[in-house]
Amino acid sequence: MCTHPTREYVDSWVSDLNWTDMKFTAAFILFLLPSMMLSQSNNESTDKHALEKAEIRRVAEPRPLLIFITADWCSYCKMMKNKVFSNPEVAGKLQTDFYFGELNGEYTGPIVWQGETYRYVPNGPRTGTHELAQHLGAVNGKLTYPTLVIVDKKDRVLFRYAGFLTGKEMVALLDKLTSKRSNY
């Protein structure tokens, strides 16, 4: 049997509330929300750092770099992140044979890639594209999300694919590229 609070119980609970505590709680929430929003925007900086770290590691141990170009609003990007890249077989191949970097195509900060600085280019109110995402991922001048780009140790693009790949397709792609590893 499910019992619900009576009206009297709710009224007594509300009357017992300490309004000073509620003001404190409201103030806490007002300060907490902006910090949560800032922590979300700090996720953008991970794009920059992931690529920089991969670039440094590639000097010591050359491997191809798989760059996953994405956008926060892209549902197919999120599906790939949650389903494909978390697939144990895909994750294992990426960990042993590749370096992996995620690049938000709408990241607003500068990124230095191979000694050149790439920046965010606004193309409307509150929209734009990062030059590095455009440079690496665009096909015929158009950048689509998600886009996978694989570059060799000399930063030549070996593979570029705009669109969703399943886990099975990703494994086949990585197998094909690792079988040709001597070429890169």
Over the stretch 38-85, which tens digit does the pLDDT of each residue have?
333 333 444 556 666 777 777 778 889 999 999 999 999 999 999 999
Q: Looking at residues 11-20, what average pLDDT do you find? A: 54
Give the chain's domain count.
1
Residue 121 maps to which CATH number?
3.40.30.10
Residue type, 178: T
Contact 102, 46 (CB under 8 A): yes
Q: Which long-range contacts (CB under 8 A, 24 or more apart) does 118-121 make?
A: none
The answer to whether residue 9 sits within a structural domain is no
Neighbour tally for 85: CB within 10 Å:
16
The answer to whether residue 13 sits within a structural domain is no
Q: 29 is written with which tokens?
A: 């929430």
Strand partners, 124: 127
The answer to whether residue 15 sits within a structural domain is no
Residue 124: predicted pLDDT = 87
Q: Is the pTM of this model over 0.95?
A: no
| CA dist., res. 174 & res. 160, Å (int) | 13
Residue 20: predicted pLDDT = 53
CA dihedral 43, 47, 53, 54 (to 10 degrees): 140
Q: Which domain range does residue 169 map to? A: 43-183
The answer to whether residue 148 sits within a structural domain is yes
The answer to whether residue 69 sits within a structural domain is yes
